[in-house]
Amino acid sequence: MIHFVPRIFASPGPEPARNILLFRIAWLVPFILLASPAWPQDSEPQKTQSGSSVAPRYADMPDEAVPYRNFTKPYKGWYTEANTLEYNGAARERRSMDLYGPPTVNIGFLGPIENNPESTYGLAMLHGAQMAVDEANVAGGYLPGGMSAPKLYALKVHNDAALWGASSSELVKMDFDEHVVAMLGSIDGASTHIALRVTLKLEIPIVDTGTTDPTVTETRIPWLLHNFPDDRQQGYALAEYIFKQLKLKRIGVLRTQSRYARVGVEKFDDEARRLGHPPLQELKFERGDQNFSDQLRMLKNARLDGVVIWGESTEAARILKQMRAMGIGLPVFGPSRLAYPQILSDAGAAAEGLVTTCGLDPSRTDPKWQGFRERYRQRFNEEPDAYAARSYDGMTMLLAAIAQGELNRARVMDTLRGYQLKDVEGVAGRAHFDRTLNNIAPVTMARVSQGKFVYWTPPRQPASATEKARGN
C-alpha cells in the first residue's frame, strides 16, 4: 500500500520549513484574537465628584453586588449620571390657571386607607402627611410674592384600592377635578408604578414615601422622589449581616404570596447569590394563614443555619411561635414590616433574637424626632411608625418645593430634583438621595433582646482596595 504524505507535514529543507512556520503563525494570529475574551474599553478609572478613583455606584451597592466585578469593568454604569432624571419639556413655561383657580393649594394623597390589607401602613402615612399640611397652614400657608392674601394647603385624599390599575383613575381625578399641584403616595409597588406611568403624561410631581419596591425609581421618568428604604437597601443590609457578620451559609426563605414579598426576596436572593450563598429553599404562604407546619417541616429537614421571613408581622408572629414549638431554634431575620411592637406581643418569647431591617429608629433622642413623636401622640393617641415619619418628611419637602417653585409643577419638580446627592435631616433621620432621587442612606437594623427591640445602624462598608484599583 502506498502512503501519500502531504508536503506541509513532510520533512522539508531549511528554507521551506521557515516558510511553513511563518504560514502557521499567520494562520493562528487571527484565531487567537477572535477566541480571546473582549478587553475592557475603558482602562482609566472613572472619577467621582470628590476626585476619588472609585466610580459612583448605583444604589451605593457593596463590593459583591457590582456586576462582573470578577471579570471586567462594565462598559456602562446606569443611574449615576447627572442627567439621569433630566426634564426637557415645556411645562416650566406653561402657566396653569387651573392651579391658581381653587381657593386652596391642593395636594393629592394616594394610599391604602380602607378595604386593603396594607391599610395600617396607609393610615399612618395619611396621618403624617396631614400633620405636615396642618403645621404649614398654621405657619401661614402658601403666600408667594405678588399675592395679597395667603392660601391654605388642602390634602385631597384618595384610597388606593387593592385592585390592579385603580390608581390610574385616582390620579386623573386629582388632575382634572381637583387640580392638585403634586401627589404623595403610595405604598403598593404596582399602584405606584401605574401612577408614575400616568404622570408621565399628566406631569404631576409624586413624592413616594411608602413603597419598598426599588424599581419605581429605575424608570427614568423624571417626576418622582422616593424616601422609604427600599428592598434593595434592605436586602443588602440583611445579606451583609447574615453572611458576612454572622458567617451563616445555609439559609431558607419563607414569604407571603404577594408582590411586596416577591420583589423583596428577589433583591435579597440576588445579593445572597453574589456572596456565594443562594437560599436553599423558598417556601410560600398566604396572608391570613394560621398553620405553617408543612413549610416548617421542610425547613427543618433542610438543615439550615437560619430562616428569612418576608411578610407581615401578624403571620410572622404565628410562624415564630410554631417554629419554637416544633423545636426549631434557628435564628430568624426579616424586613422592616416585622419591626413592629405587635410581633412582640403576639409571638412573646418566640420573638427573642429576631433581627430585622427598619424604616426608622424610634429610640433616637434628637429634638426633631422627639418633638414630632410627642405631637403625633397627642393628636392620634398612638406611636408614629416609619410610614408616618417618612410621610411627614416627604410632605415637608414637597411643601417647601411648592413654596419655592410656585404653582408650576415642573418647577416644583425642579426643586425636588435639586436633592440629588444631598442629605436631608428629617424626623425619620437622615436621608441621602442618589441620581434617581431614591433614598440610599444606611438602613437601620433591630434585634429583639429581652422582649424589646434594640436598634443600631451598621457603618457603611468602604470599597475594598481591589475595587479601588479597578475603579469600579
Average pLDDT, stretch 172-182? 95
CB neighbours (10 Å) of residue 150? 14
Position 176 in a domain:
yes
Average pLDDT, stretch 21-30? 45
The CATH number for 434's domain is 3.40.50.2300
Cβ-Cβ contacts under 8 Å for 303 (sequence gap 6 or more): 250
pLDDT of residue 12: 47
pLDDT digits (tens, 9 = 90+) for 245-295: 999 999 999 999 999 999 999 999 999 999 999 999 999 999 999 999 999
Q: pLDDT averaged over the chain? A: 87
Are 302 and 185 found together in one domain?
no
pLDDT of residue 28: 42
Cis before 186? omega within 30 = yes
pLDDT digits (tens, 9 = 90+) for 366-405: 999 999 999 999 999 999 999 999 999 999 999 999 998 7
pLDDT of residue 95: 76
Closest CA to 232 of 195, 189, 194, 190: 189
Q: Flag whether pLDDT at 322 surpasses 80.
A: yes
Are 205 and 166 found together in one domain?
yes
pLDDT of residue 94: 81
Instruction: State percent of the chain over pLDDT 90.
Output: 73
pLDDT digits (tens, 9 = 90+) for 336-355: 999 999 999 999 999 999 99
pLDDT of residue 149: 83
Instruction: State percent of the chain over pLDDT 70.
Output: 85
Are 316 and 349 found together in one domain?
yes
pLDDT digits (tens, 9 = 90+) for 197-213: 999 999 999 999 999 99
Give whole-number Cα distances, 423 to 11, 309, 408, 420, 430, in Å.
Answer: 77, 32, 25, 9, 7
Position 222 in a domain:
yes
Are 252 and 343 found together in one domain?
yes
Position 303 in a domain:
yes
Instruction: State the Cα–Cα distance between residues 40 and 42, nearest whole angstrom.
Output: 6
Position 33 in a domain:
no
pLDDT of residue 212: 97
**Per mean pLDDT, which range of 8-22, 96-110, 175-189 is the poorest?**
8-22
pLDDT of residue 451: 95
**Per mean pLDDT, which range of 14-23, 33-42, 105-114, 446-455 is the poorest?**
33-42
Are 263 and 376 found together in one domain?
no
Reported as a pLDDT band with limits 50, 70 and 90, residue 444 is very high
Q: Flag whether pLDDT at 45 surpasses 60.
A: no
pLDDT of residue 437: 97
Are 240 and 352 found together in one domain?
yes
Are 178 and 294 found together in one domain?
no
Average pLDDT, stretch 224-238? 97
If phi > 0 it is left, if psi is from -120 to 50 it is alpha, else beta; for residue 368 that is alpha
Position 78 in a domain:
no
Give whole-number Cα distances, 70 to 5, 38, 233, 235, in Å.
Answer: 48, 14, 22, 21
In DSSP terms, which residues pair with 214 in a beta bridge?
A: none
Are 176 and 315 found together in one domain?
no
Are 220 and 244 found together in one domain?
no
Position 46 in a domain:
no
Instruction: State the Cα–Cα distance between residues 49 and 187, nearest whole angstrom.
Output: 33
Q: Flag whether pLDDT at 458 surpasses 50.
A: yes
pLDDT digits (tens, 9 = 90+) for 117-158: 999 999 999 999 999 999 999 999 998 765 678 899 999 999
Residue 9, all three cell numbers: 507535514
Closest CA to 207 of 195, 218, 215, 219: 195
Average pLDDT, stretch 59-87? 86
Domain count, the chain: 2
Reported as a pLDDT band with limits 50, 70 and 90, residue 167 is confident
Q: Flag whether pLDDT at 173 surpasses 80.
A: yes
Are 217 and 236 found together in one domain?
no
Are 186 and 324 found together in one domain?
no
Structural domain for 104, as ranges: 91-228+365-441
Q: Flag whether pLDDT at 469 surpasses 70.
A: no
Position 29 in a domain:
no
Position 150 in a domain:
yes
**What is the gyration radius of the CA atoms in the chain, in angstroms?**
28
pLDDT of residue 175: 94
Are 352 and 250 found together in one domain?
yes
Q: Flag whether pLDDT at 5 surpasses 50.
A: no
pLDDT of residue 123: 98
